[in-house]
Structure 1
Amino acid sequence: MIHEAQLDNLTPAQLRELTARLLNEVRHKQATIDKLTHENAVLKRMKFAASSEVFQGDQRSLLEDSVDEDLGAVQSELQQLAPKPASPERQTPKRQALPAELPRREFRHEPDNTLCACGCQMKRIGEDVAEKLDYEPGVFTVERHIRGKWACAKCERLVQAPVEAHVIDKGIPTAGLLAQVLVAKYADHQPLYRQEGIYARSGVTLPRSTLAAWVGACGVQLQPLVDALKTEML
């Protein structure tokens, strides 16, 4: 934390860095305020709306989908704006394990070179496994991404193949599954509560709130494409 008396001693580069950090914090706090304001407005309407305006049955389901999608988009933006911790703690995701009976395909990722900089041959000491839920029309499968751990016994250097980029970091859906959810919702007019039932019949539990969060996060990721198309059209 920098006190006002210390500002005069900062170099121009330090002042620019401080200004950028403060602007990022302001954007993060404003996004949080917008999220809470939106939630509050929706809850007030549900509780205090006149009987003619109260949502019933499928209307409420569709509204809840839209609210969850908006909140998912806001949450994704908040994560992008949130200050990055110096040493992020490893968190174990709290989600249901993917059904063991689903077919699985393994993708092995190993470093291109297992020769240490000191000249020693590194040994494989373990691996990390990440499972992604994939979807092809009518069929769910699981992708097992196995990243071997290689270590040098002499200098204790650890090497792993980098994690590939995903649409939703640390999430279980592949791009194929996300595409299926979006196409079903916007092209085939299948609301998320119906998709939830369809997927349940295939033995996969995907709550509507989870699907809505995915849709919102995809909207954020697709925004640059929307902006480019708008520029091209105009």
Structure 2
Amino acid sequence: QVCRENGLTRIGCWDHARRKFVDASRAAPAKGKKGQPSKADVALSHIRKLYAVEKAANELSDAERYRVRQEKSLPLLNAFKAWLDKNTSKVLKGSLTRKAMDYTLNQWDTLVGYCERGDLKISNAGAENAIRPFALGRKAWLFADTSQGAKASATCYSLIETAKANGLEPSAYIHHVLTHIADAVTLEQLETLLPWNAELPALKNVAQYG
């Protein structure tokens, strides 16, 4: 609904698809040294190749990454899709492997979407890390007492996480905003306080805030 109402393109997450195959692989019976790999293991080998391309292209520009994806990732995706189409019906319905295969096929159009541009991600791990504080907070205090409180909380989270996303140290950014916002009387002056416009110390240790 969010994508539809705002003209956004929904992109799937390969981490989610991979996790389902990992669970299926772990649940499969142990096999001997000469045993054939399970279908979950075969699927994981396909997915590992996709991540290998991303790792190799990590330092490239968006334009170069797009070219690499068109050249290398799309053929890998096509091969994986062909394998899924051929083998899904051979797996028992209701099994973890079948659920993983069905999920991947049902989400296929969004899972391949990251190849449409060079700046898109193969997984949404970054977004999930950004909203993890919300989930931890929700477990800690369960709910906001009023709708106004929920909106205020959302505003604070948005400011802090956007500052981190733009490489700023959060407490320094909030201090900067509180120090200068009273003097910002025009839209242009307010825009100078936005995280992508503020010139402040960089966030040195993302892990401690993640």
**TM-score by structure 1 length?**
0.24
More strand by share: 1
Bigger Cα Rg: 1
**TM-score by structure 2 length?**
0.26
More helix by share: 2
